[in-house]
Structure 1
Amino acid sequence: MASFPAILRSEWTKIRSVRSTVWTLLLAFVVTAALGALLSLLTKNNFADVRKGATAPFDATATSFSGIVLGEIAIIVFGVLAIGNEYSSGMIRLSLAAVPQRGTLLTGKTVVVGALALGVSLVTAFVTFFLGQALLGEHRTTVGSHDVLRAILGAAVYLTLLCLFSAGVTAMLRNQTLALGVLVPFFFLLSPILSAVPKVKTLAHYFPDYAGRQMLTVYQEPSVPYGWLAGFFICAGWTLLALLGGAMVLKNRDA
């Protein structure tokens, strides 16, 4: 039986040796920071039009994170590739031969994937925030303002949870193409569409992406029936269920 530290080292080697996983993490950083900067600059230059008719306080922190919507795509793809590459190449059989304890193997994968996602997400969140605030000019806020640091950390946690959720779904489906075929429409078609339909938008409020984004805000939106902490638990609950589902499939089905 391989020791858990040895499993972690093995999983780390697998991930960093696959160029596509490295590029997706870099893309998550670049897209989130660049788009957030652009939208912050546009907000500053058109502030009167942006705030016309608004009654809620201006959330400078959430504005700097406006680009996270596209950054999500890259972090989701990373979670899928980190788990799905072994299934597509057939290497999962060798991994299970080396580590027959399937739950331990998936735990090791989850720890490495989660640690990498969290590290990149923390850098992304802080760089995105400071860059966005610099471009917002007189409308900016500071990291020491009320709930701002919590929102920055919330952005990093949100991206990490999305990555792990995607990893869990991929472990259940055991096919990266199928996983992307489910996750991308779910997050970027189904969730936005349901959010815009009055009779069912309440259901969309409890999807992992919608709930998780409440962690990025300093001021709660009036239309959302819960705050950032409930949003965290909802998003974390989806992630836990996906990982447990992945563990059950890995345990009960042949590779």
Structure 2
Amino acid sequence: MSAGAAGAATVPGRSGGPGRFTAGFRDAAAAEWLKLRSLRSTWWTLAATFVLTVAVGLLYGTTIGNHPEDYRKDVFDPVLMGFAGVSMSQMAIVCFGVMAVSGEYTTGTIRASLTAVPDRTVFWAAKAAVVGAVALAVSLPTAFATFFAAQTSMGSELNAGLGDPGALRATFGLALHLTLLCLVSAGVAAVLRGTVITLGVLVPLFFIVGDLLASLPGVGQVARFLPNIAGSRLMSTVPDSRIGYGPGPGLLVILAWTCVALACGLAALRRRDA
């Protein structure tokens, strides 16, 4: 990321009403989009999100389709199983969210960005909006491509159609899960500022801590409310008694994580020097 890209759209400090905030936000968002699209890591991480989700979904679907007798139809969730690739691809979308924020601190271009957009609330709102919009723009086609790839390869004996109960909602749920997980990661990156330290916190939280907590007596229920677990409920069409809640509460849980992470990111940005 270059300082020139960071300051491509200069937005003077603005206050005094929603109209000025809107104008400042629009210019800041344009600058954030310019910065994101100029980063090579943006395209690699987003491409990895798509490829991994679809490829692993296709692999799971093919494996299930080759051995349909191993699955009980009354408890089998073909949609969630087809989305199994998200367990790997969410790492890519997490990296995208982290690097979209921490990259400016690593290179020092955050100073140029805050000079161009001195209102830090406007700056953070624009960055979060652009990061979220880009994540959603990639996650939506990823979700539908994965659904069709996995269900087609699964075979007619076990697969689901997009018109089946909960299937369309779960497909949109996958896109929402990846988008919100990306925003949680961006918020944490704004607090911790470094790429390595942020990933050092998020990777165990999303991929290790849940399994560890689940195996400990008395605290296993805590793991149910981690953002990746809550997000997985959005992709399900069959209830899971081990988790104990469905898509609606799952959405509320991951939204709460997202709001807290973004609020903490804004607080850190406002209180500390660049």
The structure 1 residue matched to 2:147, chosen from 129, 132, 137, is 129
Q: Output aligned runs, 1:86-105, within 5 Å.
A: 86-105=104-123
The structure 2 residue matched to 1:222, chosen from 241, 248, 252, is 241
Residues 113-137 of structure 1 show CA distances to partners (whole Å, capped at 9, x for unaligned) of: 0000001000100000000010011
Cα RMSD for the two superposed structures: 1.2
* Alignment correspondent of 2:187: 168
1:156 aligns with 2:139: no
1: CA distance between counterparts of 2:46 and 2:85? 15
Residues 27-81 of structure 1 show CA distances to partners (whole Å, capped at 9, x for unaligned) of: 01000100011011101112222x2xx5843211111101110011000000001
In the alignment of these two chains, the number of paired residues is 252
| Structure 2 residues not aligned, in runs of 5+ | 1-11, 14-23
1:233 aligns with 2:252: yes
The structure 2 residue matched to 1:40, chosen from 61, 72, 91, is 61
2:25/2:125 contact within 8 Å kept: no
The structure 1 residue matched to 2:33, chosen from 12, 31, 34, is 12
1:196 aligns with 2:206: no
Larger Rg: 2
Residues 132-178 of structure 1 show CA distances to partners (whole Å, capped at 9, x for unaligned) of: 01001111111111111000000000000000000000001111111
2: CA distance between counterparts of 1:200 and 1:32? 31
TM-score, length-scaled by structure 2: 0.89
Residue 195 (structure 1) shift: 2.4
The structure 2 residue matched to 1:186, chosen from 190, 193, 205, is 205
TM-score, length-scaled by structure 1: 0.96
Residue 199 (structure 1) shift: 2.9
1: CA distance between counterparts of 2:101 and 2:68? 43
